[in-house]
Homo-oligomer: A and B are copies of this chain.
Amino acid sequence: MDVVRDQLRSAILAGDLAPGSRLSVPELARQLGVSRSPVREAVLLLVGEGLAVEQSRRGVEVARLELADVLELYELRISLEGLAARHAAERMTNTDLVALRGVLDAQGAAAVGDARSFRELDHRFHEIVSQTCGNTRLARHAALLAREMRLAGPLMVNGPWHLRQSHEEHRTIERALRQRDGPAAENAMRDHLTRVCQSVRHHHSPNHHSSAP
């Protein structure tokens, strides 16, 4: 069942199962070539993770995020990932720092034009920081929120200026982590997520619809 759940989760996060798609247990079981039991269990767990929602009387469908949902998620991520960054600064091993640097270098290259890769690497960056914080529950909840946010695809701001700006902020965070400066890492992470949140908000405000700043 773990396998089925991972497959479904990947399909959702990759967009193969778009937000709003109905998750019919018999249908998915046929497509995946397994029985309905593991599929049903996997779907229930995905609901628990927030990636799918039970429509009353209509079965389960992939979660559809409104702007308000994205703002909710950012507010939580600011809090949790800020905390995680502070602790990560004191606990990161050299291996972690090397991995982080690798992700950032790849992201620097992707920042020009390849928004898809950029988002993937962005996710990896935040994941490394959260998973290194030493608080297993913090890591778990931060991962849930970050994953849920990946359903927001079309609401995100993908303009080249925004990508480069995010990348610079990631560098700032990485610098604080490398210097083992917890408070600086926390502030940098909070500032980063706050600014991105503002970008999303303004990008979807009634009177501002270009993707440049």
Enumerate chain A interface residues (CB-CB to B < 8 A): 37, 40-41, 44-45, 48-50, 69, 72-73, 75-76, 79-80, 83, 135-138, 140-141, 145, 148
Contact = CB atoms under 8 A, between A and B. Distances in A.
10 contacts: A41-B41, A44-B44, A48-B48, A50-B140, A72-B136, A75-B138, A76-B138, A76-B141, A79-B80, A137-B145
Given A48-B48, A137-B145, A79 B83 contact: yes
The A interface, classified by DSSP as helix, strand, loop or mixed, is helix
Count identical subunits in the complex: 2
Across chains A and B, which 9 residue pairs bring their CB atoms closest together, nearest first? A48-B48, A72-B135, A72-B137, A79-B79, A79-B83, A45-B48, A141-B141, A41-B44, A76-B138
Contacts of A140: 50
Given A44-B41, A45-B45, A80-B79, A72 B145 contact: no
Contact of A138 (B37, B72, B136, B138): B72
Given A44-B41, A44-B45, A75 B141 contact: no
Contacts of A40: 41
Nearest to A87: B75
A183 to B, nearest CB: 15
Contact of A50 (B44, B75, B137): B137
Contacts of A136: 72
Contacts of A135: 72, 75-76
